[in-house]
Amino acid sequence: MCSNCHKRIDLNPGKYTTDWLQEVKERHERTATSYQKPITSAQIQELLSNSERYWNRIDQAKLQRPMALEFDSSASILELFDSLVQELGRIGEFAEILRKSNTPSRLKSDLLQICTSLDWSTERLDTLNFHSTPFGCKDWEIHNIGIPNSLKRLTVGVHQTRVRTLELLLTLDPSNKDWEIELSRARGQFELVAESAVSHD
């Protein structure tokens, strides 16, 4: 029960009696246990058929769109997690390129090139403190704090979701050695990611 419900019940003991609470609890337990019936092979087959129809429809729609983003609709859960981790790495590389391209010295160099190409005098540029100008501070917090922190949170979330997914899959099939090996690998990777997950400030 959430804290709001606790408070509401505690403030209205006449309305929410012990008998009423007991009945709500028993009803909830009956409902929860009624969902724990074993799934039949026919139900499994229906789920698989629905899944196949869905992904076939997605693939057909993709063929109709020019310049559609390529993705593998038959990828497994583990392949999808690996793909997400690779894309996060690429985004991190792009973010680093942007960060480096936005340093005061790089911006000053770009400005000097523009002035030179326009035949403008650059004498006074050398007297500027680029750290205190819009050129020196341009998007510094986004490049050096915002993007790195978002990438770290996203990376931790993807790795954590992979571990949780494998844990869930193993509860459904505890004898699956492949998932057990993958879970061990995923947990090791998550520990490394979690250890390096320090906020930029």
| Signed CA dihedral, 79, 81, 84, 90: sign only | negative
Residue 190 has pLDDT above 60, yes or no: yes
109 or 183, greater pLDDT: 183
pLDDT digits (tens, 9 = 90+) for 166-175: 998 888 888 8
Q: How many CA atoms lie within 13 A of 2 on its CB side?
A: 2
Residue 131's closest CA among 154, 105, 111, 153? 105
Give residue 117's pLDDT: 92
Burial class (CB in 10 A: 0-12, 13-18, 19+), 6: exposed
| Cα–Cα distance, 103 to 105 (Å, whole number) | 5
Please work out, in degrees rounded to the nearest 5, the angle formed at the alpha carbon of residue 14 by the alpha carbons of 13 and 18. 60
| Cα–Cα distance, 12 to 46 (Å, whole number) | 47
Residue 30 has pLDDT above 70, yes or no: no
Q: Count CB atoms within 10 A of the CB of residue 102.
A: 18
Residue 149's closest CA among 190, 106, 78, 99? 99
Q: Where are the beta strands (DSSP E) in the chain?
A: none
pLDDT digits (tens, 9 = 90+) for 126-162: 777 656 666 655 677 787 788 888 888 888 889 899 9
